[in-house]
Amino acid sequence: MGWGRRGDEPLPTNPIAWLRQQLDGPDQAVFPSLGDSADGLIALRTQRHDKMPGDPLVKPVFQAETVAQMNNLLRTEQPFRERLAWFWCNHFTVSVRQGGTRAVVGAYMREAIRPNVTRRFSDMLLAVMHHPAMLMYLDNTSSIGPDSRAGLKQHRGLNENLARECLELHTISPAAGYTQADVTSFAAVLTGWGVDMKAERPGFVFRANAHEPGEKTLMGRTFPEGEEGGLQALQFLGTHPATYRHIATQMATHFLSDVPSPHDVAAIVAALHDTQGDLGAAAMALVHLSDAGRPGAKFRTPMDYTTAVLRALDDGEASVAPDDPHSPAHRLAGGLGYLGQPLWNAPLPNGWSDRAADWSAPADVMARADWAYRIAASAPPVDPLDVAHATLGPALRRETITAIRHAGSRRDGLTLLFSSPEFQRR
């Protein structure tokens, strides 16, 4: 349910209680040295205004976010909660490939995702849809109601990207049977939702002069004009039965199986329905399902794999220097890029795949072995067999033990461990 054991840290005597404690208690992830999204937008605004080449103000913001969040991933004592945060960040993907989002993507995860991991899904949905990162990434800042004052003056119209992805990926999914007319209507509901880059502290703004006037109909429901219509529409979508089924399927796919059983999906749906979308309750439903025992059911994605390797080595206190290329955080971020899952850089709004078929081609597995060999060269002086038993426990195969014992060097032994079939799965 987490990211792999860190070194020889003590194992919980009561795993289910340990997992529940991570959900019931406060999020221990603290990032005191990082600014908020307004700080990132100010850096972006200054760069654009002064026409600075080379991203000189935004690049340090992104580097600091990368180091801080990678360090937290490696050092967290709440690995289940941390996995949930990254799962939801992928569900509500914002990529640095477009929209000037490098300045705010880290703040987006800290502000919209992390605080809502154990709250209701509708809370997270609203936070995401209000956040500058999502509004910029899916171009809602350029969406103008055709019949609004701004639309009539500028002869500009709707941008449907945010509305389409919210319906298709974030909430009800195509299984709900929505139409293109629903997409267009929802896009009209969201007109005026944008980012005020001129404010002293830039952030979300509702621009009434860009909002399409009049009531709108979405999935048979009518919503009033103005920002209130958008709030009501998101509450409707965030608590829709089709949304519960969609996110339950995604949670089961991520945590349990590439092809989750109807029983597993139904159990998570029931938890969501009974609690009006409480994500903490859904997470505990996952815990009880996983307690049935299905080791190795999930092939590790590059993020899973690289994090598990570096946590297993547990090579001392993580450096916090953003420009230290040898810090564990930089090795982790570099590994993500090398293995094809660069941080906050998904090619499409549907995020990164959770399925083994997309990460287990022969070339992908060879790349893991190559990366593991390089990491093993700078590993602390640990016994590969001790690491193997600590991180894999009863999943460690006899064949892997034999191979490690006959390895020509400690480096070779660690490489064999991290390349083993059982280490590729969680």
Q: How confident is the model at residue 325 (pLDDT cuts 50, 70, 90)?
A: confident
Read off φ and ψ for residue 59, nearest 5 degrees: -55, -45
Output the pLDDT for position 318.
53
Query: In one letter, which amino acid is 182?
Result: D
pLDDT tens digits, one per residue of 362-413: 999 999 999 999 999 999 999 999 999 999 999 999 999 999 999 999 999 9
Output the pLDDT for position 83.
98
Output the pLDDT for position 155.
87
Output the pLDDT for position 320.
52
Can you tell me the mean pLDDT for 118-133? 98
Closest of 306, 255, 307, 384 to residue 76, by C-alpha: 307
Residue 250, Cβ neighbours under 10 Å: how many?
Answer: 21
Q: How confident is the model at residue 358 (pLDDT cuts 50, 70, 90)?
A: very high
- In this model, does residue 345 exceed pLDDT 90? yes
Output the pLDDT for position 326.
78
Output the pLDDT for position 167.
98
Question: Do 374 and 326 contact (CB within 8 A), yes or no?
Answer: no
Q: How confident is the model at residue 319 (pLDDT cuts 50, 70, 90)?
A: low
Query: In one letter, which amino acid is 156?
Result: R
For residue 9, give both structure tokens. Answer: 């840290």
Output the pLDDT for position 293.
55
**What's the per-residue H, E or C state across 71-85?**
HHHHHCCCHHHHHHH
Three-state secondary-structure class, residue 196: strand
Q: Identify the residue with better confidence: 326 or 101.
A: 101
Q: How confident is the model at residue 294 (pLDDT cuts 50, 70, 90)?
A: low
Residue 385, Cβ neighbours under 10 Å: how many?
Answer: 16
Output the pLDDT for position 65.
96
Output the pLDDT for position 173.
97
The β-bridge partners of 195 are 204
Q: How confident is the model at residue 99 (pLDDT cuts 50, 70, 90)?
A: confident
Residue with tokens 């992104």: 62
Output the pLDDT for position 315.
66
The β-bridge partners of 205 are 194
User: pLDDT above 90 covers what percent of the chain?
Assistant: 92
pTM recorded for the entire structure: 0.96
Distance separating alpha carbons of residues 309 and 295, to the nearest angstrom: 18
Q: How confident is the model at residue 98 (pLDDT cuts 50, 70, 90)?
A: confident
User: pLDDT above 70 covers what percent of the chain?
Assistant: 96
Read off φ and ψ for residue 339, nearest 5 degrees: -95, 10
Q: Enumerate the domain spans of the chain.
A: 302-424
pLDDT tens digits, one per residue of 265-288: 999 999 999 999 999 999 999 999
Q: CA 156 → CA 95, 124, 135, 143, 207, distances in Å?
A: 26, 31, 18, 8, 15
Read off φ and ψ for residue 173, nearest 5 degrees: 70, 160
Output the pLDDT for position 327.
87
Question: Do 278 and 272 contact (CB within 8 A), yes or no?
Answer: yes
Distance separating alpha carbons of residues 146 and 46, to the nearest angstrom: 31
Question: Do 385 and 405 contact (CB within 8 A), yes or no?
Answer: yes
Output the pLDDT for position 59.
95
Lowest mean pLDDT among 6-15, 66-75, 284-293, 350-359: 284-293
Beta strands 203-206 and 193-196, pairing class? antiparallel
**What's the per-residue H, E or C state across 152-175?**
HHHCCCCCCHHHHHHHHHHCCCHH
Q: How confident is the model at residue 322 (pLDDT cuts 50, 70, 90)?
A: low
Enumerate the H helices of 291-361 as residue ranges.
Answer: 302-313, 328-338
Question: Do 145 and 192 contact (CB within 8 A), yes or no?
Answer: yes
